[in-house]
Structure 1
Amino acid sequence: MELDTKKNSRFLPTIVVVTSLVLMTMLPAYITKSNEIVPIKEPCPRVYMTNTDNTSVENLLRQSIQTFGTIDKGQRYIVYDCSKAKEGVCGGWSDRMSGILSTLVISLLTKRRFLIKHDKPCLIEDYLIPADRFDWRFNKSILLNKTSSYQDLSARKSTNLRKYLSGSLDINTYFEHDVNFVRMNWDFTEEFRKRRNIEDEIPWVTKLKYADMYKQLFNFLFTPSPLFAKALNEVKSQRTRPKIACAHLRVGGNPTMPGDDRRKRLRVDLVWKHFKKLNKRIYDIFIATDAEHVKRMAKKRYPANIIDTPGKITHIDQPNRNDPGVGFLKQLLDFYTLMNCDVLITSESGFSIFAAYLRDTDSDLYCLRSEGIIPCTRYTINDIFPGHFLAPD
């Protein structure tokens, strides 16, 4: 982080050298709404160092999931469901990503094809499309001549499931239909790691830390759609300085989010003090928050440096009177902006923890606590914040 005054070593977090996995970079083709096949090229392909003790995530996924060619008539499915057609909460963005990761692992354990059905509040593929050559998009044609079931395993409804996830009972007897729609919003990695043969079934579950697991799988599954890439570029066009400093300030229940849980008071004053040390000639500033009054405070303090994403602040599972589609897009824009910040201050929220996981660096990553702003890394962030934000207690 560059300061107006002489650099102080207290503000330099420990650099952690991350040994990661290789994900294959390809030029996939995607079908647009007009049924045209359009090649999408990622402008800055991500390259990861090979972990010699592990096989790539992509190869491990391909061992258990059919990803090429025509669909086998005997194929069976595990479908992550966050659709308007079914009851049950999906949760916020990090809750949904936790559910997707857990559902994907279940598909590997049961040797079934993994798909995503997400249209609450809108189709996820309008904004995020399959990366590389793994197509996770749900198509109702797979239901022809097949049995199906829907299981809401969100929140505390998954107690009985844990015995199957940990290997105490045969998981295939729990998901016995041809097409199993599953709604869950928790990470069950710790349950998966209790399985007796998990190192043979899915080696990376035991070898990867949470941060690397989420980063590799997110980049394996998703890439911005042309529509979302355009929206991201419009946000980036506000930038006038070489770097950007960001904070995610999750307040909890407030007039902007009347139905949200109350939280202990957030020390936003500490963030303003931290940003005061920044060289304003070098840094733009971005604040993601669930409270309009916090956003107004930031704009008042940094009128020349602030950038923002369009739309009203909206919880994607509790839109209230706001347009849920606009709210969903705003939250995705906030998330991708946080992912790419040069300086990132996180609060006690899965949203910013998940964004920190996906950053390409640990440099200038900080955790906001009541006693102060603490330097942290992708690997220590879960230790600094008490409780589990991406997994159940």
Structure 2
Amino acid sequence: MLIFLQVAVLILILVYKYSLESTNITFYPALRNSQDSEMDYENKKYETLTKYRGQKTKYIVYDCTKARNTSCSGWSDRIAGIMTTFIISILAKRQFLINFDTPCLLQDYVVPAHYDWRYNSSILVNRTSSYHYLKGRHYKKIDKYMFGGSDFNTYFKHDVDFLLMNWDFINEFRKRPNIAYDIPWITKYHQVDIYKHVYNLLFKLSSLSVHALNRHYRTKRRRNKIACAHIRIGENPNMPEIGTRNRPVPSLKVLWDYFDSLNKNEYDLFIASDTDGVKTFAKERYPENMIDTPGKITHIDQPYKNDPVEGFLKQLLDFYILSECDILVIPPKSGFSMLAAFIRNKDDGIFCLKKEELVPCSRYTMTDILPEGKFGIKLMGKIGKQRSTS
């Protein structure tokens, strides 16, 4: 299945490049159905491209900028918002861009991989624009377009529409009428595989980030394997304004017992956390095996007194290290480590940390075992309940 999705993404790239050269707009036509012949596919592509020939280029822009003076939330919220905005751009037949400069310019740390998403204000010349704040429950402004199948362009009426979202709606998009024709891969592939391949379509580390990852991680590796965990406590003095955030705190004893059982000649160890105390304890317990990234723990949306740029790089390095781990332990409500699991190249080696136990899971089952989170099923159900009762 993964091979088919890789092929689908490659076709998406090639078709995008073809449409850019052949028309005055950028459009993402439907990918070929498996039963289509080569001729059927070419006819569909020609009909799609000629239908929109001559129209003025329009844009959908994911917008996380200092100029808006609003919260973009954390890394997983932003990537979920980028994914939703990307899908909306396909459905609206518009070019997709990212305008991201808080706490720093995104393309200084990750750059376009196969698709150039970088925003430039020059596109505003002689074009109309608008901004849509759709975070949290504000998404209900486009409820009928998101879930009911209405044309997004009856809501996004300007040449350049900026929007800020922070939810994943892949499972909701699957319910749209004609979605199997509009975006066939959204109906065929698992949520985690869609994230993995769209993420790799859009992003790769910049030379600055590659250098930092090599310097602070890869050159420090001493053993063949690495076991990692993400621990969220919510009581870091570096980030007092965040507080506990009603987050369930799992028992760490089961984690330390598991790390104790690993062969220390075989495994390096890594802990990503929002709390200095957890990392300090791990370094003292495993002084010869523990690897860390430089800088103070910082929430990228609420840096408090810390350097937000340093904090962003640290969080990005933590994220990529988690995505490379042979063993990855994920706590409840951790969109950050779930997202890292989504894009990793291994399906197994994942453990879900519940109250008093480590439960073996995989990229495909972790949202069932830990459902209450950014990408979980129960959370989406709660959103649906809020939508129907408010």
Task: Place the TM-score, normalised by the shorter chain, in its bin.
Answer: 0.7 to 0.9
SS of 1:195's partner is coil
Where structure 2 has 5 or more consecutive residues not aligned to the other structure, the ranges are 26-55, 384-390
Instruction: Tell me: CA distance 1:229–1:70, structure 2 relative to 1, closer, same or farther (3 Å).
Output: farther
Q: CA deviation at 1:242?
A: 1.4
Instruction: Tell me: CA distance 1:65–1:76, structure 2 relative to 1, closer, same or farther (3 Å).
Output: farther
Give yes or no for the alignment of 1:60 onto 2:12.
Answer: yes
Where structure 1 has 5 or more consecutive residues not aligned to the other structure, the ranges are 1-18, 21-48
Instruction: Tell me: CA distance 1:168–1:175, structure 2 relative to 1, closer, same or farther (3 Å).
Output: same
Paired residues of 2:92 and 2:151 also in contact (CA < 8 A) = no
Percent identical among aligned pairs is 50
Instruction: Tell me: CA distance 1:388–1:304, structure 2 relative to 1, closer, same or farther (3 Å).
Output: closer
Q: CA deviation at 1:115?
A: 0.4
Instruction: Tell me: CA distance 1:238–1:188, structure 2 relative to 1, closer, same or farther (3 Å).
Output: same
Q: Distance in 2 between matches of 1:337 and 1:211?
A: 18
Q: Distance in 2 between matches of 1:191 and 1:360?
A: 26
Counterpart residue number, 1:378: 363
Counterpart selection for 2:81 from 95, 99, 108: 99
Code of the residue aligned with 1:380 in structure 2: it is T
SS of 1:159's partner is helix
Q: CA deviation at 1:193?
A: 1.3
RMSD over aligned CA atoms reads: 1.9
Q: Distance in 1 between matches of 2:157 and 2:306?
A: 39
**Number of equivalent positions:** 344
Instruction: Tell me: CA distance 1:321–1:69, structure 2 relative to 1, closer, same or farther (3 Å).
Output: farther
Whose RCO is larger (CA < 8 A, sep 6+)?
A: 1
Q: CA deviation at 1:165?
A: 1.2
Code of the residue aligned with 1:57 in structure 2: it is V
Q: Distance in 2 between matches of 1:277 and 1:210?
A: 33
- Larger CA deviation: 354-363 vs 334-343: 354-363
Paired residues of 1:95 and 1:390 also in contact (CA < 8 A) = no
Q: CA deviation at 1:267?
A: 1.2
Q: TM-score, normalised by structure 2?
A: 0.84
Paired residues of 2:74 and 2:299 also in contact (CA < 8 A) = yes
Code of the residue aligned with 1:355 in structure 2: it is A
Deviations 1:246-267 (Å, cap 9, x if unpaired)? Answer: 0001112442332221322221
Q: How do 1:153-232 residues align onto structure 2 when only pairs under 5 Å count?
A: 153-232=134-213
Counterpart residue number, 1:324: 308
Deviations 1:35-55 (Å, cap 9, x if unpaired)? Answer: xxxxxxxxxxxxxx235xx96
Counterpart residue number, 2:36: none
Q: Distance in 2 between matches of 1:344 and 1:138?
A: 34
Greater helix fraction, Structure 1 or Structure 2: 2
Instruction: Tell me: CA distance 1:239–1:290, structure 2 relative to 1, closer, same or farther (3 Å).
Output: same
Deviations 1:336-387 (Å, cap 9, x if unpaired)? Answer: 0000011111112000011111111123211100030000000000000132
Q: TM-score, normalised by structure 1?
A: 0.84
Counterpart selection for 2:90 from 87, 90, 108: 108
Q: Distance in 2 between matches of 1:55 and 1:197?
A: 22
Counterpart selection for 1:279 from 258, 263, 269: 263
SS of 1:158's partner is helix
Q: CA deviation at 1:192?
A: 1.2
Counterpart selection for 1:353 from 338, 352, 373: 338
Q: Distance in 2 between matches of 1:248 and 1:389?
A: 15
Code of the residue aligned with 1:275 in structure 2: it is F
Counterpart residue number, 1:120: 102
Q: Distance in 1 between matches of 2:16 and 2:174?
A: 18
Q: Distance in 2 between matches of 1:117 and 1:71?
A: 24
Counterpart residue number, 1:15: none
Q: How do 1:294-309 residues align onto structure 2 when only pairs under 5 Å count?
A: 294-309=278-293
Q: How do 1:8-27 residues align onto structure 2 when only pairs under 5 Å count?
A: 19-20=1-2
Code of the residue aligned with 1:258 in structure 2: it is P
Code of the residue aligned with 2:108 in structure 1: it is D
